[in-house]
Amino acid sequence: MFDEISRRAMLRLGAGVAAASIAGCTDQGNDSTNDDSGTPTPDGEYMNGVGDDAAISFDVPSDGTTIHSPSLQWTASADGVTIEEAGQVNEGAGHYHIMIDTEPVTPGETIPSDDQHIHYGTGQSDGVLELGPGEHTLHLQVADGEHTAMGLTDSVDVTVEDTATLDVSTSVDGSVVDWEATAEDYTIEPSSNGVNSNSGHLHAIIDTDPVAVGEVIPSDARHVHYGDGSTSGTLDLEEQLGEEYEPGEYTIHFQVGSGTHRGTLVRTETTVTTS
C-alpha cells in the first residue's frame, strides 16, 4: 500500500523523495479487453469492472494555469469508479496516480513508483506536488488496489513559476507576539474556499520545522491554524505552549496550507524574543 509521496526539491521533473517499492503487483499485459469480471482479455483495455461511461478529471489546476509557487495544489473527481485505499483489488474501484512529464501507463501494466509516477494509495483526491519552474504536463490515472493501470486518465498542461512570496512583521510584548503577513503573487483566503491554485491559508508553527510539502499540517500547541483567512493576529506563546513555555528566543514559521491543510512552499520565518 502506498502513502502519498511528498516531492521535495524537484529541479528537473518534480520530485526528490524516493518511493517505496511495489509489492504483490502483477503485469496484466498490454493488449486486453474486459470480461464481466474486469479481467483483461485480448484486444482492449483493463478497466477492473468499471463501465465505459466512467471518467476522472482534474478539478484543480485547470488546463493552461500558471502556478506561482513550485508547490502545485491539485484536486480530482471521479464518476463511475470508486476511489479508495490501495492494497486490495475491488471490482469497480482504484486509486489515483499522477504522471509528471511522462505518458500514462498502458492499461494492464503495473504503474511504477518513481519521481515521475506519484502514487496516492491512501485514497486521497487532493494533494500538493513540488515541481520545478517551467512547463509541465500532468496525467491523472486510476489503478486497481495492486497498482495495475486502468484505462481512466485525464491531463493538464501547467506553467510553474517561483514568484510567490510571504513576508511577516512582528512586535513582542512579554509573551505576546503581534504579527502581520503580506503575500505577493498568492492569495490568502479562508480554508472554507476549498483547494484553489495560487491560494491558501496561514499557519503559525512554533519552534518546530515547517511541514513537508503535501503533508497535512497538524493542529496542536505548536501548529496554529488561521483557517478564517487572517493575515494578522496575536499569538500568546505562554498561553499557547503552557508548561512548555519559558521566556526566551522562539522561531515561528508562517506557512501557507491548501484548503485541506496540506503544506506548501509558500512560507517564511521570524525569530522573536519573549520576556
CATH code assigned at 266 = 2.60.40.10
Angle made by CA atoms 48, 115, 149, in degrees to the nearest 5: 10
Domain-terminating residue out of 160, 189, 222: 160
Dist. CA 84–CA 75, nearest whole Å: 15
* Residues 253-273: tens digit of each pLDDT: 999 999 999 999 999 999 999
26 located within any domain: no
Together in a domain, 170 and 231: yes
Nearest one of 2, 16, 11 to 212, comparing CA atoms: 16
Burial group, residue 111, by CB count within 10 angstroms (0-12, 13-18, 19+)? buried
Looking at residue 263, its pLDDT comes to 98
Mean pLDDT of the residues in the chain: 88
Q: What is the mean pLDDT of residues 236-246?
A: 97
Together in a domain, 135 and 181: no
Q: Does the pLDDT of residue 14 top 80, yes or no?
A: no
2 located within any domain: no
Dist. CA 100–CA 86, nearest whole Å: 20
Together in a domain, 222 and 247: yes
Dist. CA 38–CA 34, nearest whole Å: 5
198 located within any domain: yes
| Lowest-pLDDT range of 26-30, 92-96, 103-107, 168-172 | 26-30
Where in the sequence is the domain holding 237, given as residue range(s)? 165-273
Together in a domain, 126 and 155: yes
Which contacts (CB < 8 Å, 24+ apart) does range 88-93 have? Answer: 88/145, 89/48, 89/144, 89/145, 89/146, 89/148, 90/144, 90/145, 91/37, 91/38, 91/48, 91/49, 92/38, 92/48, 92/49, 92/50, 93/48, 93/144, 93/145
13 located within any domain: no
Nearest one of 113, 83, 118, 114 to 99, comparing CA atoms: 118
Q: Please, what sign has the CA dihedral across residues 211, 223, 197, 170?
A: negative
Q: Does the pLDDT of residue 70 top 70, yes or no?
A: yes
Q: Does the pLDDT of residue 18 top 70, yes or no?
A: no
Dist. CA 184–CA 211, nearest whole Å: 21
20 located within any domain: no
269 located within any domain: yes
φ/ψ of residue 117, rounded to 5: -125, 100
Nearest one of 187, 179, 156 to 69, comparing CA atoms: 187
Instruction: For residue 28, name the pLDDT band (cuts at 50, 70, 90).
Output: very low
pTM: 0.84
Together in a domain, 122 and 219: no
Domain-terminating residue out of 117, 142, 160: 160
Together in a domain, 223 and 182: yes
14 located within any domain: no
Q: Which of 12-16, 30-34, 92-96 has maximum average pLDDT?
A: 92-96
Together in a domain, 143 and 212: no
Dist. CA 268–CA 206, nearest whole Å: 12
Share of the chain above pLDDT 90, in %: 84
DSSP at 199: E
Number of structural domains (the chain) is: 2
Together in a domain, 136 and 114: yes
Dist. CA 71–CA 274, nearest whole Å: 33
11 located within any domain: no
Domain-terminating residue out of 160, 190, 225: 160
